[in-house]
Chain A
Amino acid sequence: AQRVTQPEKLLSVFKGAPVELKCNYSYSGSPELFWYVQYSRQRLQLLLRHISRESIKGFTADLNKGETSFHLKKPFAQEEDSAMYYCALMGQGAQKLVFGQGTRLTINP
């Protein structure tokens, strides 16, 4: 079974503090992992995907196959990072995304 778990529904940190949004997955194989973000009043958009190994808006995510995790990190949070974040996976040969429940990140000034 494919499953994505985001254990924190809400996360609040102060501006300038480090941020880590947790994501664990269950999949018997090598999935593609993604982080999507939804800012207030905007549509869901791709933040990053693990195969590109990019850093977008200062965010990075490392795939840990041993721990089946794909945590999202940023060293210094900014107020504009406040948003809803979803971790998602796509199985091998599949075309569908399996999403976690999401984490609402609030950056306090």
Chain B
Amino acid sequence: DAGVTQSPTHLIKTRGQQVTLRCSPKSGHDTVSWYQQALGQGPQFIFQYYEEEERQRGNFPDRFSGHQFPNYSSELNVNALLLGDSALYLCASSLGGLGYTFGSGTRLTVV
């Protein structure tokens, strides 16, 4: 079991562009949560998906959106990128919201 896999590992985008990050949960997990980790900070909760719906959302603007597919994998989309969106984006999967397993993250740099 590869655990939680995220792609890509690194990404460089220009301000104003849009980006899509992908996450495959650990086998047997049905819930995917996304976190943003800025440099020198702890991870901050963006949102959580369960049964293909957004179940809970953190304090992030509507530019951040997501999707969960029938196979439980998930995408995080960020529109109109800002320099401040540069961060490590972590995906965590769980079964029903309990027992998180984290991925290695996608490092997004906005220039």
Q: Chain A: residues with CB nearer than 8 A to chain B?
A: 4, 6, 9, 43-46, 86, 88, 94-102
> Does B48 make an interface contact (CB < 8 A)?
yes
CA distance A4 to B42 in the complex (A): 10
Interfacial chain A residues near B40, Cβ < 8 Å: 9, 101
Q: Is the CB of A95 within 8 A of B31?
A: yes
Residues 27 to 62 of chain B near chain A (Cβ within 8 Å): 31, 33, 35, 40-45, 48, 55-56, 58
Number of B residues contacting the other chain (C-beta, 8 Å)?
23
Instruction: Flag B1-40 by CB within 8 Å of A: 1 or 0 each.
Output: 0011000000000000000000000000001010100001
- Say yes or no for B81: interface residue by CB 8 A criterion: no
Q: Determine if B43 and A99 form an interchain contact, defined as CB atoms under 8 angstroms apart.
A: yes
Q: Are A43 and B56 in contact (CB under 8 A)?
A: no
Please indicate the chain B residues that have their CB under 8 angstroms from the CB of A99 in the complex. Answer: 42-44
Contact B102 A95 (CB under 8 A): no
Contact indicator B45/A96 (Cβ below 8 Å): yes
Contacts of B41 in A (CB 8 A): 101-102
Complex Cα spacing A95 to B51, Å: 14
Q: Are A43 and B104 in contact (CB under 8 A)?
A: yes
